């Protein structure tokens, strides 16, 4: 019998101005082997929410086969999107309810990419408090900020 690997994916996004230059970062830990991967990147003109989404997307893109993934993020936007909003948006053809009408989902291309990646894995979302001393969240924040500060 084979078991799907289990990984912890810690993510964060940062932005200088909103919109402005931004960075994303993740730390991924394979629980059985203890192996860790850190990655970060930046975009010139982006928002904090876009960088939060990009961090999770980039982390999931690393995985080459089905995994049980626990995503740790301080982003309520990402967490609620994954657990509450996406099923409703998909049902409404990627539109969100605003009053009595439906409006296009903001950052829809990123949400759709995330949806495709989530479908390949078993995902659990865990919220961490930002800037509270959580070691991996602090590391991701450091990497994300450095990514946009050091941009060429």
13 has catalytic annotation: yes
Domain that holds residue 40: 6-149
Per-residue pLDDT at 4: 65
Segment 47-61, tens digit of pLDDT: 999 999 999 999 999
Catalytic residue among 8, 13, 22, 81: 13
141 has catalytic annotation: yes
What proportion of the chain, given as a percentage, has pLDDT over 70?
96
52 has catalytic annotation: yes
Mean pLDDT of the residues in the chain: 93
74 has catalytic annotation: yes
Segment 2-19, tens digit of pLDDT: 556 699 999 999 999 889
98 has catalytic annotation: no
4 has catalytic annotation: no
Catalytic residue among 34, 98, 131, 133: 131
CA distances from 34 to 30, 37, 65, 113 (A): 5, 10, 18, 28
Which CATH number is 132's domain given?
3.30.420.10
* Residue 1 domain-assigned (yes or no): no
Mean pLDDT across the stretch 17-22?
92
37 DSSP β-pair partners: 28
Segment 59-73, tens digit of pLDDT: 999 999 999 999 999
Number of domains in the chain: 1
């Amino acid at each position: 019998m084979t078991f799907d690997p289990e990984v912890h994916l810690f993510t964060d996004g940062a932005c200088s101005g909103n919109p402005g230059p931004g960075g994303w970062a993740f730390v991924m830990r394979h629980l059985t082997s203890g192996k860790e991967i850190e990655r970060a990147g930046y975009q010139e003109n982006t928002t904090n929410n876009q960088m939060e989404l990009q961090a999770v997307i980039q982390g999931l893109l690393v995985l080459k086969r089905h995994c049980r993934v626990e995503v740790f993020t301080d982003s309520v936007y990402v967490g609620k999107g994954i657990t509450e909003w996406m099923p409703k948006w998909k049902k409404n053809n990627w539109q969100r309810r605003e009053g009595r009408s439906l409006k296009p989902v903001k950052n829809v291309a990123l949400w759709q990419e995330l949806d495709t990646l989530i479908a390949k894995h078993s995902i659990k979302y865990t919220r961490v408090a930002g800037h509270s001393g959580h070691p991996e969240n602090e590391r991701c924040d450091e990497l994300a900020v450095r990514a946009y500060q050091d941009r060429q």
